[in-house]
């Protein structure tokens, strides 16, 4: 009972573990933070972080499922349960690494692994239907950890007509806004997304959306062409030359000209950047060197960001604040610096760039328990703000 009471004790920090595993399947990020307050007054102190690799068979099954047009229901049921156990292990590993007992974690925010994200209504079973599905059973995870878990962060927004993405802008607003600088928070995960933060911005005035592919396409090419999980530091891309015909063909797709709110993904209609996209790129230039194709993917990422800012962001940024795995890609960061006056990682602003998304879901879980709506209609297109996440008690 004391543990549950501590969730609601005013003045005492709430220790929350945020868990994120993205579309690039490059591991499970866990960030543990001590949180106080809410909204503009929220304070965050990082306790510990850890990345755990997916067990090989789990990663293989997730990849197979993500790319399949059809997937057995029995396998989906078992993968959902298996993934909950994998998240449990990752959280326990992070707690051990941080030197704290698991009993001192008050709450978990677990995004889960996206299976499908279909926010645009389709005619299905006699009605216009939209939906989103992330694997990782919150109730099972709460039961095995003995800790309340917030999960399923996207469904409420989609049910209200929203895109269910991006969800990090609330965190960007809380941690990266400024009263005197125009900032853009850019996350380079599997998909690249940005949050526009003009000086003095209010929560309801945020603009945020997915700009296009990032690590998903680059990692897919590295694995397909080099047998490597990713292009470390972008060294292969740096040695290549972008194939302009491919870059221009991709950037001419309707997604990039469409106004926000909008979201992309692995198999999103008109904005899918998974294995089919990788195979399409290779087919456009079958004799090309791997380095040239990797340079092409990097150019698509960077130029789609530049186009998005020019088309949709109504100010010139004083600084681009970059996070996600892509911010560790030296070549990608050099390319961005060729287009923007100042490019920094979020580390320089007190937010761990590698674990930003995991921290964001710790904050969203914290606010869900507080009953605070963190869905932002101006960002997602939902009909009203929603409290994001379902709470499972152990």
What pLDDT is recorded for position 82?
98
- C-alpha 300/C-alpha 212 separation (Å) is 8
Q: In whole angstroms, how far apart are CA 338 and each of 320, 331, 341?
A: 12, 11, 8
Q: Over its length of 394 residues, how does the chain's per-residue pLDDT go in tens digits?
A: 566 677 777 567 999 999 999 877 779 999 999 999 999 999 999 999 999 999 999 999 998 988 788 899 999 999 999 999 999 999 999 999 999 999 999 999 999 999 888 898 999 999 999 999 999 999 999 999 999 999 999 999 999 999 998 999 999 999 999 999 999 999 998 899 999 999 999 999 999 999 999 999 999 999 999 999 999 999 999 999 999 999 999 999 999 999 998 888 665 544 568 888 999 999 999 999 999 999 999 999 999 999 999 999 999 999 999 999 999 999 999 999 999 999 999 999 999 999 999 999 999 999 999 999 999 999 999 999 999 999 999 9
Judge whether 309 and 343 are in contact, CB under 8 Å: no
- Phi and psi for 271 in degrees, rounded to 5? -145, 40
pTM assigned to the model: 0.93
Residue listed under structure tokens 């990097």: 298
- Asked: is 5-168+354-392 a CATH 3.40.50.300 domain? The reply is no
Q: Specify the pairing of strand 207-213 against strand 319-323.
A: unpaired
- Domain boundaries of the chain, sorted by first residue: 5-168+354-392, 169-349
What pLDDT is recorded for position 10?
58
What do you get for the CA distance between the two ends of the chain, in Å?
11
- C-alpha 101/C-alpha 48 separation (Å) is 12
What pLDDT is recorded for position 55?
95
What pLDDT is recorded for position 263?
83
What pLDDT is recorded for position 3?
61
Q: Look up residue 135 and give its two tokens.
A: 């694997």
What pLDDT is recorded for position 269?
45
- The domain 169-349 is placed in CATH, from the list 3.40.50.720, 3.40.190.10, 3.30.420.40, 3.30.565.10, at 3.30.420.40
Q: Specify the pairing of strand 14-20 against strand 28-36.
A: antiparallel
């Amino acid at each position: 009972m004391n543990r549950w009471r501590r969730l609601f004790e005013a003045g005492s920090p709430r220790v929350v573990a945020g868990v994120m595993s993205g579309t690039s399947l490059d591991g499970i990020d866990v960030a543990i933070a001590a949180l106080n307050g809410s909204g503009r007054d929220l304070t965050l102190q990082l306790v510990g972080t850890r990345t755990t690799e997916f067990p090989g068979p789990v990663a293989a099954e997730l990849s197979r499922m993500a790319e399949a047009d059809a997937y057995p229901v029995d396998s989906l049921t078992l993968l959902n349960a298996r993934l909950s156990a994998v998240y449990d292990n990752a959280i326990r590993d992070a707690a051990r690494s941080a030197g704290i007992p698991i009993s001192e974690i008050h709450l978990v925010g677990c995004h889960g692994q996206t299976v499908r994200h279909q926010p645009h209504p389709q005619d299905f079973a006699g009605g216009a239907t939209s939906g989103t599905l992330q694997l990782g059973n919150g109730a099972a995870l709460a039961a095995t950890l003995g800790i309340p878990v917030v999960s399923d962060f996207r469904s409420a927004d989609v049910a209200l007509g929203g895109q269910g993405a991006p969800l990090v802008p609330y965190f960007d607003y809380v941690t990266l806004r400024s009263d005197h600088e125009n900032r853009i928070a850019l996350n380079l995960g599997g998909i690249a997304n940005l949050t526009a933060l003009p000086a003095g911005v209010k929560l309801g005035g945020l603009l945020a959306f997915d700009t296009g592919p990032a690590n998903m396409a680059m990692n897919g090419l590295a694995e397909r062409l080099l047998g490597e999980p990713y292009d470390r530091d972008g060294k292969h891309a740096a040695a290549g030359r972008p194939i302009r015909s491919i870059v221009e063909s991709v950037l001419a797709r309707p997604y990039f000209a469409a106004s926000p709110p909008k979201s992309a993904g692995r198999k999103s209609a008109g904005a899918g950047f998974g294995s089919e996209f990788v195979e399409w790129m290779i087919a456009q230039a079958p004799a090309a060197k791997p380095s040239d194709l990797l340079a092409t993917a990097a150019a698509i990422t960077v130029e789609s960001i530049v186009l998005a800012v020019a088309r949709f962001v109504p100010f010139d940024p004083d600084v681009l604040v970059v996070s996600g795995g892509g911010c560790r890609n030296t070549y990608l960061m050099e390319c961005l610096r060729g287009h923007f006056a100042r490019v920094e990682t979020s580390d320089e602003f007190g937010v761990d760039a590698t674990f930003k998304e995991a921290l964001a879901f710790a904050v969203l879980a914290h606010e869900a328990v507080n009953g605070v709506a963190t869905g932002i209609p101006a960002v997602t297109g939902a009909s009203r703000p929603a409290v994001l996440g379902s709470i499972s008690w152990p």
